[in-house]
Amino acid sequence: MKVVGADCCSGGWFAVSIIDGVEWKTSIFPDIITLWKNSKDTSLILIDIPIGLREKDTKERLCDIEARKLLGRKRAMSVFPAPCRGALYAQNYKEACSINERMTGRKLTIQTWNIIPKIREVDALISKEKPTRSKIREIHPEVCFWALLGEPMKHSKKIEAGFYERKELLKSIFPYAEDIINHSLYTYRRKQVKKDDILDALVAAVTATGGSDALASIPQRPEIDKKGVTMEMVYLKT
């Protein structure tokens, strides 16, 4: 079984592929469509990006709300509010904030605005290509780490202590984790892939290794958006 974990990065999408739990490969794809076209033999693709969006609602997606509760005060801030679908097509940050505020009552964070192009391309693919809906599923890396450890990470992934604690956790669970991390750090420039992008894609791939049957979701009863797309985050059952 081949699975993929992917995280958006400056170079596009950084992906870690794991085959039968023993073979692995890393790649950078310029966009999600290219990743999808090169993953037709893949059983499961877990990505760190919002999938399924509100059209008009003052309430956030339940998966975002529940993820913050699971992660607690320190890590909750890593879960950015997902935009409404209309904001994906704004020409600039000011316009996106205006659209989102009109439709949901909330402006966009700059962090969310920075990944709008990636959210837009994923939303377009999943809305158009229905076969993607059972294969491409949303994760949040911090929720995945929470599930693997049984509690939230102590440190931010942006600092050395945070990188180390996540690396050590992955090493304790997946025997090739250190090889993948070291290979990626050596192979790709930090302008293309940041250190934490590597961790995020890898924890997504490790989470996927058990297949769909090994996954739980938040919320337990996922919402469905206006286009029929599931709004959930998945993680490894413990």
Residue 181 falls inside a structural domain? yes
With contact defined as beta carbons under 8 Å apart, do 82 and 61 qualify? Answer: yes
Burial of 187 (0-12, 13-18, 19+ CB in 10 A): exposed
CB under 8 Å to 32, separation ≥6 — which residues? 13, 47, 118, 121, 122, 125
User: What's the pLDDT score for residue 139?
Assistant: 99
Residue 120: inside a domain? no
Q: Is residue 217 part of a domain?
A: no
Percentage of residues in the chain with pLDDT exceeding 90? 97
Domain assignment of residue 38, yes or no: yes
182, part of any domain: yes
Q: How many domains does the chain have?
A: 1
Q: What is the DSSP string of 155-211?
A: S-TTSHHHHHHHHHHHHHH-TTHHHHHHHHHHHS-TTTS-HHHHHHHHHHHHHHTT-
The answer to pTM > 0.85 is: yes
Taking residues 179-190, what's their average pLDDT? 97
Range of the domain at 187: 2-50+138-212
Asked whether residue 163 is assigned to any structural domain, the reply reads yes
Kindly state whether residue 173 falls inside one of the protein's structural domains.
Answer: yes
